[in-house]
Amino acid sequence: MGVRILGIESSCDETAAAVVEDGARLLSSVVASQVATHRPYGGIVPELASREHLRAIVPVVGQALVEAGCSLRDLRAIAVTHGPGLVGSLLVGLTYAKALALSLRIPLIPVNHLEGHIHAVLLEEGMRQGAEIEFPALALVVSGGHTMTLLAGRSGNRFQYTVLGKTRDDAAGEAFDKVAKLLALGYPGGPIIDRLAPHGDAAAVRFTPPKTKGNPLDFSFSGIKTAVLRYVQAQAMAEEIEPRREALRTQPAAPLEWYLRMCSRRTLDLVASFQAAVVEDLVSRSVAAARQHDVRSLIVSGGVACNSLLRRRFRRLPPADAMPVYFPSPALSTDNAAMIAAAAYPKYLESESAGLDVPADAGLAL
Ligand code: KG4
Ligand code: ZN
């Protein structure tokens, strides 16, 4: 039996546990989503998130062990997200992980959530056993809570990260969610906007790309959100939006056909134009960062990495910018614990572990 690490992740709104062997074999990955809990609010309510984590943590860890065909005694370390994230949420996973590590007398390996997202890609590439990802790499971590580019370097089992650009305001996923809330498209907004956008004309509404004073690699998504709001007001779209909001109360997870019936051409065009503008901005700033640092590969991870247009745009970079681009599968793009267990393996090999006093750190930097 190889080195089996149990990963635990509870930084935001998913309670997740997974068992990964030797950092490269995924034995199980269980994710309990809280989407239904937060849906009525159109965003994550931190107090509800901690309460749901408390309910889910024991069964989720139990299920991850059962699915991996593994008992607690087979584990060699417990890996856990200790930040960044919602502090009340982080504490649930971290406290449980500490208790497990203490009772099993095995190392506790704290993992930065953002490093986890990057390792989701390394784990899956490792499972494919193809050519290894070449470093230095440019990593774009783009989710509901984060949007940043990082320069990732590797020397054996040690990884170093330098943040090159980050959002000054909203994360890209947050912009998807807020625009979906404004247009009454349901929650979370990213997946539904992704599915509606191909039905609209992405050139219909022009959004001016944000200018970020200072670091040109920084992102900003609050301006586009406001631009969508102004467009909605100028075009008097409330008449269409409010009935949809009302109807969504009774069927929160409506099928695509329902949305297509309930959305005018103008809404579909707006959605397509919004998505195209956000994706264009993510791609162009990532490519600029990659060029500046002469990287050998691109890694794109986090919930928004599920976006089909984003994937297409990165896969079809112009020849001058083309380089290998890696995405996790959709299941490992959004929050999960496999990425946490995978990120912990090289630390395990380097005997990097923490004492039981390691704190949850909501603003933990990478
Ligand atoms: O990584 P994740 O599960 O949690 C955070 O750490 O935030 O990401 C969730 C975010 C949400 O904002 C959601 O709307 C967005 O990822 N998302 C997408 C897509 N699927 C999920 N955004 C755009 N297109 C998608 N297909
Ligand atoms: Zn995340």
pLDDT in tens, 69-119: 999 999 999 999 999 999 999 999 999 999 999 999 999 999 999 999 999
Q: Say if residue 90 is in the same domain as residue 201.
A: no
Measured in angstroms, how far is the CA atom of residue 144 from the centroid of ligand 1?
5
**What residues line ligand 1, using a CB cutoff of 6 Å?**
12, 143-145, 173-174, 176-177, 188-191, 194, 302-304, 306-307, 334-335
144 in any annotated domain = no
Measured in angstroms, how far is the CA atom of residue 189 from the centroid of ligand 2?
16
Q: Is the preceding peptide bond at 107 cis, omega within 30 degrees of 0? A: no
241 in any annotated domain = yes
Mean pLDDT over 299-321 rounds to 97
d(CA 317, CA 184): 33
d(CA 104, CA 127): 28
Alpha-carbon torsion (316, 321, 324, 325), positive or negative = negative
163 in any annotated domain = no
Mean pLDDT over 256-283 rounds to 97
306 in any annotated domain = yes
363 in any annotated domain = no
Q: What is the pLDDT of residue 42?
A: 81
CA-based nearest residue to 37, from 205, 196, 207, 188: 188
Q: Say if residue 191 is in the same domain as residue 300.
A: yes
d(CA 48, CA 248): 21
Q: Say if residue 103 is in the same domain as residue 245.
A: no
User: Which atom of ligand 1 lies nearest, measured to the CA of 333?
Assistant: 1
Helix axes 265-293, 222-234, angle to 10 degrees: 160
pLDDT in tens, 338-356: 999 999 999 999 999 999 9
Q: Say if residue 95 is in the same domain as residue 17.
A: yes
Q: Say whether pLDDT at 161 is over 90.
A: yes
151 in any annotated domain = no
Q: Say if residue 100 is in the same domain as residue 237.
A: no
Q: What is the pLDDT of residue 39?
A: 87
CA-based nearest residue to 231, from 180, 195, 279, 266: 266
Mean pLDDT over 273-294 rounds to 97
CA-based nearest residue to 16, from 35, 31, 5: 31
Q: How confident is the model at residue 130 (pLDDT cuts 50, 70, 90)?
A: low
Q: Say if residue 293 is in the same domain as residue 217.
A: yes
From the CB of residue 229, how many other CB atoms can be counted at a distance below 10 Å?
Answer: 14
Q: Say whether pLDDT at 258 is over 90.
A: yes
CA-based nearest residue to 76, from 2, 3, 157: 3
Mean pLDDT over 148-175 rounds to 97
What's the number of CA atoms in the CB half-sphere (13 Å) around residue 301?
Answer: 26
Question: What CATH number is attached to the domain comprising 46?
Answer: 3.30.420.40
Q: Say if residue 310 is in the same domain as residue 342.
A: no
Q: Say if residue 224 is in the same domain as residue 314.
A: yes
CA-based nearest residue to 24, from 133, 111, 98: 133
Q: Say if residue 310 is in the same domain as residue 239.
A: yes
Q: Say if residue 177 is in the same domain as residue 247.
A: yes
Residue 152 CA: distances (Å) to CA of 4, 137, 141, 265, 286: 25, 5, 12, 42, 13
Q: Say whether pLDDT at 127 is over 80.
A: no
Q: How confident is the model at residue 125 (pLDDT cuts 50, 70, 90)?
A: confident
Q: What does the DSSP 8-state code read for residue 167?
A: B
Mean pLDDT over 24-34 rounds to 96
Structural domain of 43 = 4-133+330-349
- Give the residue, out of 271, 281, 304, with the most ligand 1 atoms within 8 A of its beta carbon, to mutate for a pocket test: 304
Q: Say if residue 123 is in the same domain as residue 242.
A: no
Q: Strand pairing of 14-21 and 25-33?
A: antiparallel
Mean pLDDT over 312-324 rounds to 95
140 in any annotated domain = no
Q: Say if residue 319 is in the same domain as residue 343.
A: no
- Higher pLDDT pick, 291 / 127: 291
Q: Say whether pLDDT at 272 is over 70.
A: yes
pTM: predicted TM-score of the whole model, two decimal places: 0.95
Number of domains in the chain: 2
Measured in angstroms, how far is the CA atom of residue 295 from the centroid of ligand 1?
26
Query: 214: which 2 tokens?
Result: 């200072």
199 in any annotated domain = yes
